[in-house]
Amino acid sequence: MVVPSPTSSKITSNKTRAMGIPTIDLSMERSQLSQTVVKACEEYGFFRVVNHNVPKEVIARLEEEGAEFFSKPSHEKRRAGPASPFGYGFTNIGPNGDIGDLEYLLLHANPLSIAQISKTIANDSTKFSTVVKEYVEVVKEVTCEILDLVVEGLGVADKSGLSRLIRDFDSDSVLRMNHYPPLKVKWKGNKNSIGFGAHSDPQMLTIMRSNDVGGLQIYTREGLWLPVPPDPTNFFVMVGDVLQVMTNGKFMSVRHRALTNTSEARMSMIYFAAPPLDWWIAPLPEMVSPPENESVYKAFTWAQYKEATYSLRLGDSRLDLFRAQIDTHLLSSSQSQFQC
């Protein structure tokens, strides 16, 4: 059973309500665990993971490196930018005019790439690179464990078919560190600003961890923004667009956003698990059974999907462009439904 944990959040917006966020205890008995993971992915596309076995020192070391970088003067940080797409960025998100109240580091998760870009980020680039690689390795393991549970719970024959894509040397996974500065002006009442606008993540799975400051919200099936209470020792998992396609829509990628209305800075570290660029994405064979259950999506490579992603705005529903039967009203409604 999915165990909802109570939410209590300082952050509210026009349409929010307190509700349970599913919690997955990775130390649970395996067959029950895989069913629980599938249920959480189906019902929410989002859950919290506890008992993940990631050493807290690994998390603390990356947090420290991030804090050190973001505390530098702007002119120093800008030497690691602009993020196109990798490196240091601020205010601008992506290439198409999206903005947010944040600064960030976006890194490819490949070890060689980490070593290279670290030279522009840190004075002690070897230390920075070691810490990032170490974090990526452990968080990749958590991701692969969850993907293996998904496959098991769905009854897919190839038991490591999804995790293999993430372990692949050519996996296109990325790591992002977001820093949301505290609000300088103390607002009377509840005035939110957008740190990171509403969107779904394009990849397979997202593993997010933040410091003890709230801000993340997920958009529920009921059409409400649900605040996610921070939990610095655990991870939050989000279903991405690619996993939605691989499950033929059984799972749905979760829309989310980050608000900044606190007096404290928020820092999040996010691993986006993606397959290699040339990997063909299509529903898993077990997820289609024609004629009554045809594939809802056309097959496409991750490179093609990424190209579409980067040609659109943050809040656009890019998956509509890859539906098997595309109708014109979907095409026009794919744009900017959730801008905020």
Contact 16, 227 (CB under 8 A): yes
Q: Does 199 bind ligand L37FFZMX (CB under 6 A)?
A: yes
Q: CA 304, 245, 138, 278 torsion: positive or negative?
A: negative
**Which 275-314 positions form the footprint of Fe ion (CB under 5 A)?**
none
Instruction: Using CB under 6 A, count the residues that bind ligand L37FFZMX.
Output: 17
Q: Which residue is nearest to Fe ion (CB)?
A: 201
Q: Does 236 bind ligand L37FFZMX (CB under 6 A)?
A: no
Residue number, 98 or 201, with CB nearest to Fe ion: 201
Q: Where does this chain touch Fe ion (CB under 5 A) — which range of 116-124, 125-133, 199-207, 322-330?
A: 199-207
Residue number, 201 or 231, with CB nearest to Fe ion: 201
Strand order in the sheet with 46-50: 3-5, 21-25, 46-50, 235-239, 205-210, 266-273, 174-180, 98-108, 87-93
CB of residue 203 to ligand AKG, shortest distance in Å: 9
Length of the chain: 340
Phi-psi map region of 77: left, alpha, beta (phi>0 left; psi -120 to 50 alpha) = alpha
**Structure-token pair, residue 281:** 């994405």
Q: Does 91 bind ligand L37FFZMX (CB under 6 A)?
A: no
Q: Of 74, 66, 9, give the one whose Cα is nearest residue 262.
A: 9
**Which 247-276 positions form the footprint of ligand AKG (CB under 6 A)?**
256, 258, 268, 270
Task: Kindly report the number of other CB atoms within 10 A of residue 228's CB atom.
Answer: 21
Decide if 78 is catalytic.
no
Residue number, 115 or 265, with CB nearest to ligand AKG: 265
Site residues, ligand L37FFZMX (CB under 6 A): 85, 93-94, 96, 98, 106, 174, 176, 199, 201-202, 272, 309-310, 312-314
